[in-house]
Structure 1
Amino acid sequence: MTVISSSLDDERLFISRQAGGRFLYKIYFLVFLTGIVSLLYYRVTNIAYDHPVLWFLITLAEFWFGVTWFLQQGFRWAPTYHVEYPERLAESNLPPIDVLVCTADPDREPPSIVANTLLSLMSYDYDVNKLSYYISDDGGSQLTFHAVYLASVFAKSWLPFCKKYNVEPRSPKVYFSSSSTSSPSGQNFRQECDKIKAKFEKMQERIEKAGKMRNVPVEIRNEHKGFKEWDTKIDPRDHDSIIEVLLRGNGVDKDDEGNPMPSLIYVSREKRPTSHHRFKAGALNALNRVSALISNAPLVINVDCDMYSNNSQALRHAVCYFLDPKESHRIGYVQFPQSFGGITQSDLYGNGVKRIYEIEFFGTNAHNGPMYAGTGTIHRRESLNGRKYDPNVKIKFEDKSVRGSKNWVELEVQAKLVTTCTYEEGKPWGSEMGLMYGSAVEDVYTGLVLHSRGWNSIFCSPERKAFLGLAPVNTNDTLIQHKRWSTGLLEIFLSDYCPMSLANLFGDGKLKLGQIMCYSFYTLWALWCLPMLIYAVVPPLAMVNGISLFPKVSNPWFRIFIFLGISSHAFSLAELMLAKGTFQMWWNETRMWMLKGTSSYLFSVMVTILKALGISESGFEITSKVIDEEALKRYNKEMMEFAVASPMFIPPTTLSLLNLYCLVRTVVSLVTATVMSNNLEEAEPNTSLGVSNPLALVLQIIISGYISIVSLPIYKAMFLRMDKGRMPTSVTVYSIGLCATLVYLASVFM
């Protein structure tokens, strides 16, 4: 990692600096840590012998809250920011880069999105002779190939237009639909822009028409030999490898102004029902091999099909790290943040992941760098393919790319051989080289392996966002996405590369303490469901049965609980506000964290247990990029969408009903008892709820009240809304039944 320095060497291509305010933060850390220790001391010295099970559960939840808070401090201890100097790069020294793009389902990832992402990536401000593009279509769809082919044709007009007028962003769909794009003045520009726009709209129309027909028109099929692959119907799960060269680099294909074009290769690896295809990791490993065969650039960047390039200078920013004279030899990969367009003003579902990429990832820069986040990542090919970092050998950046004339027909044949189902048999792909297999989040797993091999990574966040993607715009897709992420992360924690394994703690490839804390926090995301469920179930049920689990208001220990609750929320809010967030963003993020904790994370734990028992296997679920117009209108109004009768909704809906019921019943009982006591000539202790002092239930009332307020959108979706986004009746009925069952069981056994 770069040494922090106040002086700047003119030869350096980047510098680093630490965030300010660390002294104040460390005071807060010590005070809050003291509060956690005090709370646990109170629990241990005040055992509820009359309700030991309830005491144990609530103590376990508070202990786990404390552990996860402590792990999270790895991100906050020393946030570090990098500044790159791309203007210092020599054009002749720019290294070749292979760009790998993945798509898997033309119905959930529309081909028009794939085409626009590809065009934005092909328009980088970079030497096109040093860029090669590989698109993996795991759906084996002629509709996707059709879109990629049309994009390759349109690119001959779009690339010179972007270069000539230096437009931003370089996704044509975004550029032509946005009023905030960079637009030069002048009649010549306007005329050329209108001409390019007309070509683009024609391309879009062709892509959409083919999608509606579920077929490619004959006149277009005759334009490229690749369409012959679909002369017979192809089963996405059972077909031969398809390799098609759409653009040949090295000056063979030229744009409309006679400039060279980058190479562009379409890849659909072989699929057989009897062979495990390893999802996205398998697709990227196949692209890795094809790209090594054809261009073999020393750097490879992988980008999801829905993450368009928003910054034409992004590659230059990343290359600064790989060419830096002091630190380049240490760096295995450079990670750009994931950013998203189309997020509502207050980020309704928290899908802007602002806290992760604008707060937490900067903290990883102090601990050998961030985890690999799956998209927008530039790898040194040799580090990705198994080479360990040797601190005693200061290796230089090597260019082993394949240049010169190529026999494209022969390369297509060879590329088919390395994308067969059987190619990896007996080879170290997925275990020692390439992306790692064994987790639904192959990216984080691979990053952990690279860090364990001694490589550093860098979080590169230029002022203009490098990529913008499409985030889920409904509740169900959001919960499904986080279920997949948290399941894969938990699988990593349970694997041989567990961040807390002896090898990572003490071995040759041991990680830094801060690195272990950061990885452990993420890989244990799923276990957040345990303390959340306990706090959402035990306090309200105990409260409605008159059982106090917390100190009463007059007890000095009451202040510890109030301090920890208020200060943790205040710090979280202040942190987000400093990252240019808003109070409503924070509130939405808090709500979604609770929804995910009682739904996504709960289901991921269940899936992991079932997989361990050999009952089921976790799969790879793709969130849809297709947006219903009515649902989009509700989304823009920041109305949560519950239209699908998903089992993911049942746990949080049940818990919201449970807390509301217990809160109302308790408050009504207390008020009624107080009124009756006031009417008596001789007041007696209030024992209507089984406790001698109702003040002993204050914290439980606060907890249930807090959960009920956070759950307001759920109550509205169940009982007040009449639009299509309301909660399905079946979910409401199931949740009411479960809530009633919990209340009954608690009345019997508590």
Structure 2
Amino acid sequence: MAEPLQDAPHQLHTVEVDQPLAAVNRLLAGLHLALAATAISHRGVHDIMLAADLVLLFLWLLSQAPMLRPVSRAAFPGRLSHPALPGVDVMVVTADPDKEPAVKVMNTVISAMALDYPGGRLTVYLSDDAGSPLTLLAARKAYAFARVWVPFCRKYGVQCPCPERFFASNDQLDGGGGVDHHHELADDKIRVKNMYEAFKKGVEEATHDAALSQSWTKAARQDHGAHVEIIADKQDSSVSNSDDEDAMPSLVYVSREKRPAWAHHFKAGALNVLLRVSSLVSNAPYVLVLDCDMYCNTRSSVLEAMCFHLHRRRRADDLAFVQFPQKFHNLSSNDIYANELRSIFSTRWKGLDGLRGPILSGTGFCLRRDAVYGARPSSSQDHPFSSMEVGELKTRFGHSNGHVASLRRTAGSTTTSRDGLLPEDARLVASCEYETGTRWGDEVGFLYQSVVEDYFTGYRQLYCRGWTSVYCYPAPSRPAPFLGSVPTNLNDVLVQNKRWMSGMLAVGLSKHCPLGSSLAVSLPHSMGFAYYAFMALYAFAVLCYATVPQLSFFRGGTSSFPEASSLWFAAVFVSSLLQHLIEVSVAKRGLEVRTWWNEQRFWALNAVTGQLFACLSVALDLVGAGGRAVDFDLTSKASDNVRLYRDGVFDFAGCSTVLLPATTLCLLNDAALVGGVWKMVISGSRGHVSAELFLLCYVAALSYPLLQGMFLRRDPARVPAWITAMSVGMAATLLSLFG
């Protein structure tokens, strides 16, 4: 049975350890380890397949650490005292108005402004890294609409504060509005919907405004000055600060300065600018970070986070952040690209929560400001930096008098200006030169040593300093706190995975490797982080299993599996498949063979595409031949051809070189399968090739969509002809040289 924490009347949250699941995980892990060790012991010491098996075993061992103690949590926001709630700064980041359409970005902004939280203690910051006048204009229009939308949500108890979702959904109210307002709802809904349609139309017209587009070019994305603006209406200044329950949340637009000669550090740099600007304007003790496409799906999410942050605990106050899962509104029922990220957000984050907390996941987390500033739990008081001299503070945080003063004030003591006037230092802290000579990105704020700033900051900046976190996963009966969108084009998915894998592998191979920090963080927790740091190494193992057995089977007469241990390897394979199937079925609460198969297929595809190119990129960077080997390509959030994705058909349109290894290995496998079987029939001898035959058939089944896309489809989303031609040539070369 699960072990619940005692649910006292005033307790704000509970936690349960899923003991039955933990016991099953440990039993399966022990069985698989014994089988794998026995099979590997029969490998020859000079066999390249031994190296592949050892890599697989190493990654599997790391992956088991989060499975040892899975937990679930529940929050009770109704027990919070609203007058005692601290301030929260919501930070939304966007970087490209072409790939991140303004209407979608503004839906996220508007949904954040409509959260169920005292308006006088909620401030929304929008970071526009492109410095686009369209985004600024859309933000102004969004604020004008929010002045109607926010009171509407409060009055009728709207459940989902995202207007686009609200007007397209039937599940709209949570009952908070009461029956007295029910007769008014129909008329108000029509009125607000018309205003929303007018808002969208205004933004769309601005998108096609020639005068607006001529005032800003694509080159200006990397070369523009700082602009900070508090978007407010003078009518809002009539709201008393003491009546902050009904106050209108403030919206602050921030476009930091960007120059070609200065490194901008991508999302981490943008978030650090937001931290500094917000310290001058609202200085809330907690920040909620959202990607521009990750809109609020329930109004209670911040209150749920506060249930953990404000809960009185017996031990030291060491909670740095509350992480929410990433859920997506455009997932297909047949998720062929494994976009759900089930193994992360439905399985392993729960297990990491049972250790010291999940990995910081880029979006949907509520974080203590002083923790990300570099404070330690032992010094986290109202003034964690009060012992530092002014000179030391300026060396560490920069020469903004306003920002240094905010470090010595009680967080949240600054009141947001409602007349549009900015503190004097606002543009200074958003300038390119401000971080020069400071500790920003190194010891202060989000760290710059990796393009996966969330992963690296969570581990080095927070966990290694003694902080912990919790994972707030909603019960199956409750809606997801936040909903985002996933890429529906295969190339976008693979490029996104390449970026993640290369960033984490670069950390794993650096002096900041999680396995080298087990003294600061528990060994199981370090292993959980290290699994993602080295996940790209699956590429080596899969590459071996996609070439050596194939060539061996094609030649005939020899086997890549030792005869005495072929049954052991078969048992290891079955054990791995069974463990994965149970893991999927537990997470999905039912036997989910289709989800299991989709994840199996995409795991193999991703290993020889995104993960393989990530390894090459990091290797070139390490030897100094890669230049800017680790890139930061944005995936498109704009509408594309989603029909194929919804129908479970792979969309290869626009696929780049990243797909080439997968198509080549697919042809190599199929050619070796046909050629090897033909040789067996001609010779009349099967030899010791049963293991290879099974493996090649399994790989053929996994890679069938690639074969179909190259030769059996005629639609525009088939595999590009140049990739097919190159794959045929490379596969033929491999067979002629080694077959």
What is the TM-score normalised by the length of structure 1? 0.89
Kindly state the Cα deviation for residue 495 of structure 1 after the two structures are TM-superposed. 2.8
Q: How far apart are the structure 2 equivalents of 1:260 and 1:66?
A: 56
Q: Does 1:109 align with 2:124?
A: no
Q: How far apart are the structure 1 equivalents of 2:215 and 2:730?
A: 51
Q: How far apart are the structure 2 equivalents of 1:405 and 1:284?
A: 19
Q: How far apart are the structure 1 equivalents of 2:11 and 2:318?
A: 15
Q: Does 1:388 align with 2:376?
A: yes
Deviations 1:416-465 (A, max 9, x none): 00000000000110000100001110010000011000000111112321
The verdict on how the C-alpha distance between 1:729 and 1:407 changes in structure 2, with shifts beyond 3 A counting, is closer
Q: Among residues 711, 714, 725, which one is paired with 1:733 in the alignment?
A: 725
| Identical aligned residues as a percent | 34
Corresponding residue for residue 300 of structure 1: 287
Q: How far apart are the structure 1 equivalents of 2:19 and 2:470?
A: 20
Deviations 1:78-124 (A, max 9, x none): 10111212121111111100011100000000001111111111111
Q: How far apart are the structure 1 equivalents of 2:234 and 2:115?
A: 15
Q: How far apart are the structure 2 equivalents of 1:211 and 1:180?
A: 31
Check the 8 A contact 2:117/2:302 in 1, yes or no.
Answer: yes
Corresponding residue for residue 621 of structure 1: 633
Kindly state the Cα deviation for residue 250 of structure 1 after the two structures are TM-superposed. 12
Q: Secondary structure at the match of 2:432?
A: coil
Kindly state the Cα deviation for residue 410 of structure 1 after the two structures are TM-superposed. 5.6
Q: Secondary structure at the match of 2:141?
A: helix
Q: Does 1:475 align with 2:490?
A: yes
Corresponding residue for residue 310 of structure 1: 297
Check the 8 A contact 1:80/1:362 in 2, yes or no.
Answer: yes
**Farther-moved stretch of structure 1 (326-335 vs 71-80):** 326-335
Check the 8 A contact 2:5/2:15 in 1, yes or no.
Answer: no
The verdict on how the C-alpha distance between 1:514 and 1:258 changes in structure 2, with shifts beyond 3 A counting, is closer
Kindly state the Cα deviation for residue 28 of structure 1 after the two structures are TM-superposed. 2.1
Corresponding residue for residue 351 of structure 1: 339
Corresponding residue for residue 722 of structure 1: 714
Corresponding residue for residue 36 of structure 1: 36
Q: Does 1:495 align with 2:487?
A: no
Q: Secondary structure at the match of 2:230?
A: strand
- Segments of structure 2 that go 5 or more residues without pairing to the other structure are 385-408
Q: Among residues 256, 260, 264, which one is paired with 1:273 in the alignment?
A: 260
What are the within-5 Å matches in structure 2 for residues 641-680 of structure 1? 641-674=651-684
Q: Secondary structure at the match of 2:92?
A: strand
Q: Secondary structure at the match of 2:494?
A: helix
Corresponding residue for residue 235 of structure 1: 220
Corresponding residue for residue 223 of structure 1: none
Q: Secondary structure at the match of 1:244?
A: strand
Q: How far apart are the structure 2 equivalents of 1:351 and 1:498?
A: 27
Corresponding residue for residue 619 of structure 2: 609
Corresponding residue for residue 451 of structure 1: 463
Q: Does 1:420 align with 2:431?
A: yes
Kindly state the Cα deviation for residue 328 of structure 1 after the two structures are TM-superposed. 7.3
Residue 247 of structure 1 aligns to which amino acid in structure 2?
A: A
Q: Among residues 342, 349, 354, which one is paired with 2:330 in the alignment?
A: 342
Q: Among residues 341, 355, 362, which one is paired with 1:374 in the alignment?
A: 362
Kindly state the Cα deviation for residue 543 of structure 1 after the two structures are TM-superposed. 1.3
Kindly state the Cα deviation for residue 672 of structure 1 after the two structures are TM-superposed. 3.0
Kindly state the Cα deviation for residue 634 of structure 1 after the two structures are TM-superposed. 1.7
Q: Secondary structure at the match of 1:514?
A: helix
Corresponding residue for residue 690 of structure 1: none
Q: How far apart are the structure 2 equivalents of 1:585 and 1:31?
A: 24
Corresponding residue for residue 11 of structure 2: 12
Tell me which structure has the larger Cα radius of gyration: 1
Corresponding residue for residue 538 of structure 1: 548
Q: How far apart are the structure 1 equivalents of 2:75 and 2:381?
A: 22
Residue 341 of structure 1 aligns to which amino acid in structure 2?
A: H
Q: How far apart are the structure 2 equivalents of 1:254 and 1:447?
A: 38
Q: Among residues 585, 600, 607, which one is paired with 1:590 in the alignment?
A: 600
Corresponding residue for residue 565 of structure 1: 573
The verdict on how the C-alpha distance between 1:254 and 1:651 changes in structure 2, with shifts beyond 3 A counting, is farther
Q: Secondary structure at the match of 1:623?
A: coil
What are the within-5 Å matches in structure 2 for residues 63-212 of structure 1? 63-182=54-173, 186-212=182-208
Q: Does 1:710 align with 2:665?
A: no
Q: Does 1:325 align with 2:312?
A: yes
Kindly state the Cα deviation for residue 12 of structure 1 after the two structures are TM-superposed. 2.7
Residue 304 of structure 2 aligns to which amino acid in structure 1?
A: H
Deviations 1:502-531 (A, max 9, x none): xx123xxx1111111100100111111000
**Farther-moved stretch of structure 1 (707-716 vs 172-181):** 172-181
Kindly state the Cα deviation for residue 570 of structure 1 after the two structures are TM-superposed. 1.4
Check the 8 A contact 1:248/1:264 in 2, yes or no.
Answer: no
Check the 8 A contact 1:97/1:130 in 2, yes or no.
Answer: yes
Q: CA RMSD in A?
A: 2.5
Corresponding residue for residue 406 of structure 2: none
The verdict on how the C-alpha distance between 1:407 and 1:171 changes in structure 2, with shifts beyond 3 A counting, is closer
Kindly state the Cα deviation for residue 635 of structure 1 after the two structures are TM-superposed. 1.8
Q: How far apart are the structure 2 equivalents of 1:215 and 1:457?
A: 48
Kindly state the Cα deviation for residue 483 of structure 1 after the two structures are TM-superposed. 0.3
Kindly state the Cα deviation for residue 725 of structure 1 after the two structures are TM-superposed. 0.6
Check the 8 A contact 2:281/2:415 in 1, yes or no.
Answer: no
Kindly state the Cα deviation for residue 27 of structure 1 after the two structures are TM-superposed. 2.4
Check the 8 A contact 1:97/1:298 in 2, yes or no.
Answer: yes
Corresponding residue for residue 679 of structure 1: none
Corresponding residue for residue 401 of structure 1: 412
Check the 8 A contact 1:97/1:131 in 2, yes or no.
Answer: yes
- Segments of structure 1 that go 5 or more residues without pairing to the other structure are 218-228, 675-685, 687-693
The verdict on how the C-alpha distance between 1:164 and 1:213 changes in structure 2, with shifts beyond 3 A counting, is same
**Farther-moved stretch of structure 1 (376-385 vs 35-44):** 35-44
Corresponding residue for residue 501 of structure 2: 486
Check the 8 A contact 2:334/2:647 in 1, yes or no.
Answer: no
Q: How far apart are the structure 1 equivalents of 2:577 and 2:68?
A: 18
Q: Secondary structure at the match of 1:576?
A: helix
Kindly state the Cα deviation for residue 702 of structure 1 after the two structures are TM-superposed. 1.1
Corresponding residue for residue 689 of structure 1: none
Q: Secondary structure at the match of 1:252?
A: helix
Check the 8 A contact 1:252/1:260 in 2, yes or no.
Answer: no
Deviations 1:346-388 (A, max 9, x none): 2121011112101110000122101111101111100000102
Q: Secondary structure at the match of 2:354?
A: helix
The verdict on how the C-alpha distance between 1:124 and 1:473 changes in structure 2, with shifts beyond 3 A counting, is same
Kindly state the Cα deviation for residue 199 of structure 1 after the two structures are TM-superposed. 0.7
Check the 8 A contact 2:515/2:526 in 1, yes or no.
Answer: yes
Q: How far apart are the structure 2 equivalents of 1:362 and 1:250?
A: 46
